[in-house]
Amino acid sequence: MPLKVVGLNSYPVKSMLGVAHERLGFDARGAVGDRLWALRHADGKLSSGKNSRRFRRVPGLLEHRAAYGADGTPFVTAPDGETLRPGDPRIPERFGEGVELAREGEQSHQDAAAVSLVGTASLRALGDLLGDADPVDVRRLRKNIVVETDEPWIEEDWVGREITVGGADGREPLRLRVTGRVARCVMTTQAQTGLPADSRILKTLTAARGMCIGIYADIVTPAPLTLGDTVVAR
């Protein structure tokens, strides 16, 4: 059976909820507009669900949803329904003095590569490892591309290879070079709108999978994708 794209997601503001798409463009940077913006603190750190040299933990980010308006500017919908845009004085009031909604500069907001991908069989396998009847909810993993697969972890076999996605009806396909497995972090365990906190996920991935699920890839040939597009690994 051919492998098919069953999920396409972008996250306009890093570490916030994003948007599910039926069609999503990919350019040389990755999914168009993905993590192009972030909440940036006065010391240059970016708001996240974790603390590191680069990030500062800010609780509640996954209760905020980001999208792009018709003018291409991002807006954030807060849990109370308020809408925040770049330059809004309520942003530092909510997230801390000196915090601003800032566009990516010289340093990329991406963690390790342009695109992330996971197979549905791997989601089912992680659910089995957790002892759950259902697959782990893909929303916890924040992948750009979700592929329907029958074999768990098969996407990891693509590391070091090139995959072609789409290209039906004479369209130019998206070509990706798979660069490595995705090591997950505490973001997978945190509560978000519609999902409770679940500390089991990272513990289970650490014990059984070296903290990894899914793959990273860089863009070889940009192109848009549509749900149902076929995936071919070379």
**CA 94, 100, 101, 107 torsion: positive or negative?**
negative
Question: What tokens appear for 12 in the block?
Answer: 């306009």
- Which residue type, as a one-letter code, is found at position 132? D
- Please tell me whether residue 46 adopts helix, strand or coil conformation: strand
Which class for 61: exposed (0-12), middle (13-18), buried (19 or more C-beta within 10 A)? buried
**φ, ψ for residue 78 (rounded to 5)?**
-80, 165
Distance in angstroms (rounded) separating the CA atoms of residues 188 and 170:
38
Distance in angstroms (rounded) separating the CA atoms of residues 30 and 32:
6
Domains and CATH numbers, the chain: 3-31+111-233 (2.40.33.20), 37-103 (no CATH)
Distance in angstroms (rounded) separating the CA atoms of residues 216 and 156:
10
Tell which residue, 34, 18, 40, has the closest CA to residue 92: 40
Residue pLDDT, tens place only, 43-70:
999 999 888 889 999 999 999 999 999 9
Residue pLDDT, tens place only, 134-185:
999 999 999 999 999 999 999 999 999 999 999 877 789 999 999 999 999 9
Residue pLDDT, tens place only, 23-49:
999 999 999 999 999 999 999 999 998
Residue pLDDT, tens place only, 200-211:
999 999 999 999
Q: Which of the 8 DSSP states describes residue 124?
A: H
Give the 3-state secondary structure percentages of the chain, helix then strand then coil, rounded to 5.
20, 35, 45
State the chain's mean pLDDT as an integer: 95
**Which pLDDT does position 226 carry in this prediction?**
96
* Res. 187 pLDDT band, cuts 50 70 90: very high
